[in-house]
Structure 1
Amino acid sequence: MTTAVSRTPRFPFSAVVGHDDLRLALVLNAVHPGIGGVLVRGEKGTAKSTAVRALAALLPGLQVVPGCRFRCAPDAPDPECPDGPHAAGGTGEIRPAQLVELPVGATEDRLVGSLDLERALSEGVRAYQPGLLADAHRGVLYVDEVNLLHDHLVDLLLDAAAMGRAHVERDGVSVSHAARFLLVGTMNPEEGELRPQLLDRFGLTVEVRAARDVDTRVEVVRRRLAFEADPQGFAASWDGEEADTARRIADAQDRVTSVRLDDTELRRIAAVCAAFDVDGMRADLVIARAAAAHAAWRGADAVAEQDVRVAARLALPHRRRRDPFDEPGIDEQTLEDALRDAAEQAERDPEPEPPDGGGGEAPDAQPEAGPDGAAGDRGSDGGADRSDAPAPSEPPQTGPPAATSDPGPQDPPAGEVPAAGARPAGDGPTRAAPPPSSPFRARRLEVPGVGEGAPGRRSRARTDAGRVVRPADPGSSAPRRAADVHLPATIVAAAPHQQARGRSGAGLRLHRDDLRHAVREGREGNLVLFVVDASGSMAARKRMGAVSGAVLSLLRDAYQRRDKVGLVTFRGLGSELVLPPTSSVPTAQTRLTTMRTGGRTPLASGLLRARRVLAVERLRDPRRRPLLVLLTDGRATVPARAGGDPVHDACRAAGLLAADGVHTVVVDCESGPVRLGLAARIAEAAGGPLVTVDELSADRVTGVVQAARAA
Structure 2
Amino acid sequence: MSTPYPFTAVVGQTDLRLALLLNAVSPAVGGVLVRGEKGTAKSTAVRALTALLPQVDVVPGCRFSCAPAAPDPGCPDGPHEAGTAAERPARMVELPVGASEDRLVGALDIERALAEGVKAFEPGLLADAHRGILYVDEVNLLHDHLVDVLLDAAAMGASYVEREGVSVRHAARFLLVGTMNPEEGELRPQLLDRFGLTVEVAASREPEQRVEVVRRRLAYEDDPAAFATRWAADEAEVRERVVAARALLPRVVLGDRALLMIAATCAGFEVDGMRADIVMARTATALAAWAGRTAVRKEDVRQAALLALPHRRRRNPFDAPGLDEDRLDEILDRFEDDEPEPEPEPDPDPEPQGPDDGGDGPDGGGPDGGGTPEGNGPEDTAEEPPAPEAAPEAEPERHPEREPEPARGEAPPSPESAGPQEGPLQAAVPAADPFRTRMFSVPGLGDGAAGRRSRARTAHGRTVGAQRPRGQLTKLHLAATVHAAAPHQRARGRSGPGLVVRKDDLRQASREGREGNLVLFVVDASGSMAARQRMGAVKGAVLSLLLDAYQRRDKVGLITFRGAAAELALPPTSSVDAAAARMEKLPTGGRTPLAAGLLKAREVLRVEKLRDPSRRPLLVVVTDGRATSAGAVGGDPRALAARSARLLHAEGVASVVVDCESGHVRLGLAAALAADLGGPAVTLDGLRADALAGLVKNVRTSVSSPSHRKAA
Task: Classify the TM-score, shorter chain.
Answer: 0.7 to 0.9
Alignment partners' CA distance in 2, 1:642 and 1:110: 56
Alignment partners' CA distance in 2, 1:699 and 1:278: 30
Question: What is the DSSP-based 3-state SS (H/G/I as helix, E as strand, rest coil) of the residue aligned with 1:539?
Answer: helix
1:440 to 1:163, Cα distance in 2 relative to 1, 3 A: farther
Q: Is 1:107 aligned to residue 107 of structure 2?
A: no
Q: Is the 8 A contact 1:425 1:571 kept in 2?
A: no
Deviation readout 1:170-219 (Å, 9 max, x if unpaired): 33334444432210112344544434443332222233445542562255
1:389 to 1:666, Cα distance in 2 relative to 1, 3 A: same
Alignment partners' CA distance in 1, 2:235 and 2:560: 59
Alignment partners' CA distance in 2, 1:137 and 1:663: 47
The residue aligned with 1:434 is: 429
The residue aligned with 1:186 is: 179
Q: Is 1:312 aligned to residue 305 of structure 2?
A: yes
Deviation at 1:528, TM superposition (A): 2.0
Q: Is 1:380 aligned to residue 354 of structure 2?
A: no
Question: What is the DSSP-based 3-state SS (H/G/I as helix, E as strand, rest coil) of the residue aligned with 1:137?
Answer: coil
The residue aligned with 2:709 is: none
The residue aligned with 1:291 is: 284
Q: 2:133 aligns with which of 135, 140, 157?
A: 140
Instruction: After TM superposition, list the pairs within 5 Å mapping 1:146-545 onto structure 2.
Output: 146-210=139-203, 212=207, 213=209, 216-217=212-213, 219-221=215-217, 223-225=219-221, 227-228=223-224, 231=225, 235=228, 238-274=231-267, 276-330=269-323, 334-335=324-325, 337-347=326-336, 369-374=348-353, 380-382=361-363, 384=372, 386=376, 387=380, 389=382, 410-413=405-408, 416-419=411-414, 421-423=416-418, 426=421, 431-453=426-448, 458-462=453-457, 469=463, 473=467, 480-483=470-473, 486=476, 488=478, 489-490=480-481, 492-502=483-493, 508=500, 510=502, 514=505, 516-517=507-508, 519=510, 524-534=515-525, 538-540=529-531, 542-545=533-536
The residue aligned with 1:55 is: 49
1:451 to 1:514, Cα distance in 2 relative to 1, 3 A: same
The residue aligned with 2:567 is: 577
Question: What is the DSSP-based 3-state SS (H/G/I as helix, E as strand, rest coil) of the residue aligned with 2:258?
Answer: helix
Alignment partners' CA distance in 2, 1:670 and 1:621: 35
Deviation at 1:696, TM superposition (A): 3.7
Give the letter aligned to residue 361 of structure 2. Answer: S
Question: What is the DSSP-based 3-state SS (H/G/I as helix, E as strand, rest coil) of the residue aligned with 1:528?
Answer: strand
Deviation at 1:289, TM superposition (A): 1.3
Q: 1:552 aligns with which of 513, 526, 543?
A: 543
Alignment partners' CA distance in 1, 2:623 and 2:427: 18
Alignment partners' CA distance in 2, 1:601 and 1:151: 40
Alignment partners' CA distance in 2, 1:365 and 1:704: 70
Deviation at 1:535, TM superposition (A): 5.0
Alignment partners' CA distance in 1, 2:463 and 2:262: 47
1:242 to 1:495, Cα distance in 2 relative to 1, 3 A: farther
Q: Is the 8 A contact 1:60 1:246 kept in 2?
A: yes
Deviation at 1:283, TM superposition (A): 2.9
Number of residues of Structure 1 aligned to a counterpart in Structure 2: 668
Deviation at 1:543, TM superposition (A): 3.1
1:209 to 1:430, Cα distance in 2 relative to 1, 3 A: closer
Deviation at 1:27, TM superposition (A): 1.2
Question: What is the DSSP-based 3-state SS (H/G/I as helix, E as strand, rest coil) of the residue aligned with 2:431?
Answer: coil
Give the letter aligned to residue 302 of structure 1. Answer: A
CA RMSD of aligned residues (A): 4.4
Structure 1 stretch 244-253 or stretch 314-323: which is displaced more?
A: 314-323
Question: What is the DSSP-based 3-state SS (H/G/I as helix, E as strand, rest coil) of the residue aligned with 2:35?
Answer: strand
Alignment partners' CA distance in 1, 2:362 and 2:307: 17
Give the letter aligned to residue 551 of structure 1. Answer: V
Deviation at 1:291, TM superposition (A): 1.1
Alignment partners' CA distance in 1, 2:267 and 2:341: 19
Deviation at 1:155, TM superposition (A): 2.0
Q: 1:21 aligns with which of 6, 12, 15?
A: 15
Give the letter aligned to residue 448 of structure 1. Answer: P
Question: What is the DSSP-based 3-state SS (H/G/I as helix, E as strand, rest coil) of the residue aligned with 2:335?
Answer: helix
1:343 to 1:555, Cα distance in 2 relative to 1, 3 A: closer
Could you list the runs of 5+ residues in structure 1 that have no partner in the other structure?
1-6, 348-357, 397-407
Alignment partners' CA distance in 2, 1:74 and 1:531: 62
Instruction: After TM superposition, list the pairs within 5 Å mapping 1:625-644 onto structure 2.
Output: 625-634=616-625
Alignment partners' CA distance in 1, 2:190 and 2:532: 33
Deviation at 1:119, TM superposition (A): 3.0
Question: What is the DSSP-based 3-state SS (H/G/I as helix, E as strand, rest coil) of the residue aligned with 2:441?
Answer: coil
1:432 to 1:361, Cα distance in 2 relative to 1, 3 A: farther
Question: What is the DSSP-based 3-state SS (H/G/I as helix, E as strand, rest coil) of the residue aligned with 1:114?
Answer: strand
Deviation at 1:108, TM superposition (A): 0.8
Q: Is the 8 A contact 1:434 1:545 kept in 2?
A: yes
Deviation at 1:320, TM superposition (A): 4.5
Q: 1:592 aligns with which of 583, 588, 598?
A: 583
Alignment partners' CA distance in 2, 1:72 and 1:612: 56
Alignment partners' CA distance in 1, 2:568 and 2:594: 16
1:520 to 1:244, Cα distance in 2 relative to 1, 3 A: farther
Alignment partners' CA distance in 1, 2:38 and 2:455: 32
Give the letter aligned to residue 49 of structure 1. Answer: S
Alignment partners' CA distance in 2, 1:671 and 1:82: 68
Deviation readout 1:552-610 (Å, 9 max, x if unpaired): 232344456554433334567x5523525332545533442343445776656644553
Deviation readout 1:612-648 (Å, 9 max, x if unpaired): 54345445554442211122345667899999795x8
Alignment partners' CA distance in 2, 1:40 and 1:563: 23
Deviation at 1:659, TM superposition (A): 1.2
Structure 1 stretch 307-316 or stretch 321-330: which is displaced more?
A: 321-330
Alignment partners' CA distance in 2, 1:222 and 1:578: 38
Deviation at 1:466, TM superposition (A): 5.4
Deviation at 1:122, TM superposition (A): 6.0
Deviation at 1:300, TM superposition (A): 0.3
Deviation at 1:105, TM superposition (A): 1.5
Give the letter aligned to residue 370 of structure 1. Answer: D
TM-score norm. by structure 2 comes to 0.79
Q: Is the 8 A contact 2:388 2:584 kept in 1?
A: no
Give the letter aligned to residue 345 of structure 1. Answer: R
The residue aligned with 1:38 is: 32
1:142 to 1:101, Cα distance in 2 relative to 1, 3 A: same
Alignment partners' CA distance in 2, 1:44 and 1:390: 14
Q: Is the 8 A contact 2:492 2:500 kept in 1?
A: no
The residue aligned with 1:93 is: 85
Alignment partners' CA distance in 2, 1:142 and 1:608: 43
Could you list the runs of 5+ residues in structure 2 that have no partner in the other structure?
364-370, 390-402, 704-712
Q: Is the 8 A contact 2:429 2:587 kept in 1?
A: no
Question: What is the DSSP-based 3-state SS (H/G/I as helix, E as strand, rest coil) of the residue aligned with 1:438?
Answer: coil
Give the letter aligned to residue 146 of structure 2. Answer: L
TM-score norm. by structure 1 comes to 0.79
Alignment partners' CA distance in 2, 1:215 and 1:608: 46
Alignment partners' CA distance in 1, 2:409 and 2:506: 63
